[in-house]
A and B are shown apart, each in its own frame.
Chain A
Amino acid sequence: MAKRKYVKQALSQWMNGVGPDSEVVISSRVRIARNIRNMPFPLMADPSRSLSVMEQLLGVAESGRLNGLGKIEQIRLTDLTELEKLVLVEKHLISPNLANDSRNGALILSPNEDISVMINEEDHLRIQCLSSGFQVHEAWDAASKIDDIFEEQVDYAFDEKHGYLTSCPTNVGTGIRVSVMMHLPALVMTGQINRILSAVTQVGLAVRGLYGEGSEATGNLFQVSNQITLGQSEQEIIENLFQVARQMIEHEKSARSKLLTESRLRVEDRVRRSFGILSQAIIMDSKEASQRLSDIRLGVHLGLLPEVNELVLNELLVSTQPGFLQMTFGEAMSPEDRDRSRAELIRSRLATIS
């Protein structure tokens, strides 16, 4: 069977559009956690109950109530190979948690891949909306609409005091997690990043590195998200994150223009060297790849690399991950094979544009 696009193509369609403030924010995401009343959470559900949860929730898609989204895909996790699941994780369409423990797990996916609904993850229902660039309000509006559609059909576990009841007490209340993925190379280069990140954590937000081992930030990519879900309204949560991220964007932008005026040659040299290495290298480990791609992304936005566009970078961000490499070059690769294939992939992709 031919591979479907959601596992074949590295780039989701929604990432093609260049969103607002995309020179700093790669994507925005809102996730809503919900559960069905009087059904044990997936953790404690026996197979027959988790199956009936899955059927009930897939039924909403089946009933055509999600018609506004276009031609949606319904995917049972058991129909996917391990590698296909890994690819969906790398595209942020499912969580590692769902990929690892997918008994009666399922996914509902919009054609653009900007809406992905996970079934039987830690909670029965996790509605996720992704948008390119800095668009947290838009992502919330979209997610909340999907939430309303499910709510017409499903009795949610809801309590007057604690709000939407979730498996983990860190999600209870609104059940929302809003996050932005930011590229902050100038703040890292100028040594301001730690001060800013510690300020961010003090206003109730969390920061994680992206695509790294554990939560280490590789490629200067950081994910900022809310930690509080109870006692604040969705609007307050989103506005708080929006304002903080707004300030981080401004700090990053001013650090970039300072770099450009004060050490243009050094930055240009660094960007061009990274471009040279990525265009020529035979072996490229993932850590170096993300650092060099970060340099190139910075160069593109500073106008130092007119030949490269953002789309190529977004694609390489995903397609150089282990799952995608194996999808492209064949399964079961050793780390050495991966480093060689990664270099090959980047070389050939950059060769097409220069």
Chain B
Amino acid sequence: MQCQECGKRPATLHFTKIVNGEKAELHICESCAREKGELIPGTSSGFSIHNLLSGLLDFETPNPMAKQPAAKCETCGMTYAQFSKIGRFGCSHCYKQFSERLDPLLKRVHGNTVHVGKVPKRAGGRLKTKREIDRLKKEMQGRIEREDFETAAQLRDRIRELENEMSG
């Protein structure tokens, strides 16, 4: 995609802004962005990640059927408006409170919405077991395809054990 400003260089920066309910997309190259004073990560133009975030946070969920998210975190008192202004949460419950609007934002920032990394031993025990069950199920499938039914049966038993542990 070419830059919308100069039409010469490839567009490397993509913004979506909602102005008065109208969605506007902007695709520009870095040099035009610098000239326009749009702020880019890693350049000298005084960019702060929180500035960029507040631009992204105005993004409304496009699905009108989506439930209206809580406007305020009941635990710490931070409002969504406050959050979108400073780009930081007040407490861990804000993630739940603002969850409806969060995924589009996280998708833009990280390209993903689900954690796959390290899990704390105590608090994350359930998740660890869940991941282990998924892994064992995949392995079991492979064993069945290779007609190694004995190992598959052992894996099935282990999966049941873990599933019982989780529900218990």
Residues of B within 8 A of A (CB): 12, 30, 41-47, 49-50, 53, 75-78, 86-92, 95-96, 102, 105-106, 109-124, 126-127, 130
* The one of A122, A169, A234 that contacts B118, using a Cβ cutoff of 8 Å: A234
Q: A155-B122, A167-B88, A215-B44 are in contact. Are A173 and B110 (CB under 8 A)?
A: yes
**How many whole Å from A171's CB to the nearest CB in chain B?**
10
Given A41-B88, A158-B119, A206-B42, residue A198 in contact with residue B53 (CB < 8 A): no
Q: Select B105's contact among A152, A169, A232, beta carbons within 8 Å.
A: A169
B111 close to A231 (CB less than 8 A):
yes
* Contact status A202-B12, CB under 8 Å: yes
Q: Which 4 pairs of residues, A with B, have the shortest CB-CB distance?
A: A231-B112, A163-B115, A44-B90, A157-B92
Contact of A174 among B109, B113, B117, B123 (CB under 8 A): B117
Q: Does A156 contact B (CB under 8 A)?
A: yes
Q: Contact: A170 with B109, CB < 8 Å?
A: yes
The docked-state distance in angstroms from the alpha carbon of A43 to that of B117 is: 26
Instruction: Check B44 against A216 for contact (C-beta < 8 Å).
Output: yes
When distances are taken between beta carbons in the complex, the residues of chain B under 8 Å from A212 are 44
Q: How far is the CB of B38 from chain A (nearest CB, A)?
A: 15
User: With A41-B91, A162-B95 known to touch, is A230 a contact of B112 (CB < 8 Å)?
Assistant: yes
Provide the A212-246 mask, 1 if CB < 8 A to any CB of B, else 0.
11111000000000011111111001000000000
Judge whether A302 is part of the interface by a CB distance below 8 angstroms.
Answer: no
A213 to B130, CA, bound (A): 48
| Chain A hits for B127, CB < 8 A | 160
Query: B42 near A201 (CB under 8 angstroms)?
Result: yes
Set B45, B47, B102, B126: member contacting A160, Cβ < 8 A? B126
For the residues of B in contact with A, the DSSP-based class is: loop
| Min CB gap B163→A, angstroms | 16
**Interfacial chain B residues near A165, Cβ < 8 Å:** 89, 92, 95
For A122, what are the chain B residues with a Cβ–Cβ distance below 8 Å? Answer: 88
* Closest Cβ neighbor of B9 among chain A residues: A198
For the complex with contacts A201-B41, A231-B112, A234-B117, 10 further pairs of A-B residues with Cβ separation under 8 Å are: A43-B88, A163-B115, A163-B118, A164-B115, A164-B120, A166-B89, A172-B106, A173-B110, A215-B42, A233-B116
Distance between Cα atoms of A164 and B50 in the complex (Å): 19
Report whether B114 and A231 are in contact in the complex, using a CB–CB cutoff of 8 Å: yes
Contact B91–A228 (Cβ < 8 Å): no
Is the C-beta of A132 less than 8 angstroms from some C-beta in chain B?
no
In Å, the complex CA distance between A155 and B117 comes to 18
Cβ of A197 under 8 Å from chain B: yes
Q: How far is the CA of A340 from the CA of B50 in the complex (A)?
A: 38
The secondary-structure label for the interface of chain A is loop
**Which A residues have a C-beta under 8 Å from some C-beta of B?**
35, 37-41, 43-44, 122, 144, 147-148, 151-152, 155-170, 172-174, 176, 197-198, 201-202, 204, 206-209, 212-216, 227-234, 237
The docked-state distance in angstroms from the alpha carbon of A174 to that of B76 is: 23
Query: Whole-angstrom distance between the alpha carbons of A151 and B122 in the complex?
Result: 8
Return chain A residues, CB-CB under 8 Å to B44: 209, 212-216
Q: Which residue of A lies closest to B117 (CB)?
A: A174
**What would be 20 A-B contacts, judged by CB atoms less than 8 Å apart?**
A37-B92, A43-B86, A44-B78, A151-B122, A156-B120, A161-B113, A168-B87, A168-B88, A168-B89, A172-B106, A173-B110, A174-B117, A206-B42, A215-B44, A228-B111, A230-B106, A231-B110, A231-B111, A231-B113, A231-B115
How many angstroms between the C-alpha atoms of A270 and B73 in the bound complex?
59
Contact B123 A155 (CB under 8 A): yes
* Shortest Cβ distance from residue B44 to the other chain A in the assembled complex, whole angstroms: 4
Q: Are the C-beta atoms of B123 and A158 separated by less than 8 Å?
A: yes
Instruction: Check A40–B75 contact: CB distance below 8 A.
Output: yes
Chain A residues with CB under 8 Å of B110's CB are: 172-173, 227-231
Chain A hits for B105, CB < 8 A: 169
Contacts of A208 in B (CB 8 A): 42
Contact B120 A173 (CB under 8 A): no
Contact A201 B117 (CB under 8 A): no
- In the bound assembly, the distance between CA atoms of A148 and B47 in angstroms comes to 34
Contact B91 A44 (CB under 8 A): yes
Complex CA gap A38/B91 in Å reads 8
A197 to chain B, nearest CB (A): 7
Partner of A40, one of B76, B87, B115: B76
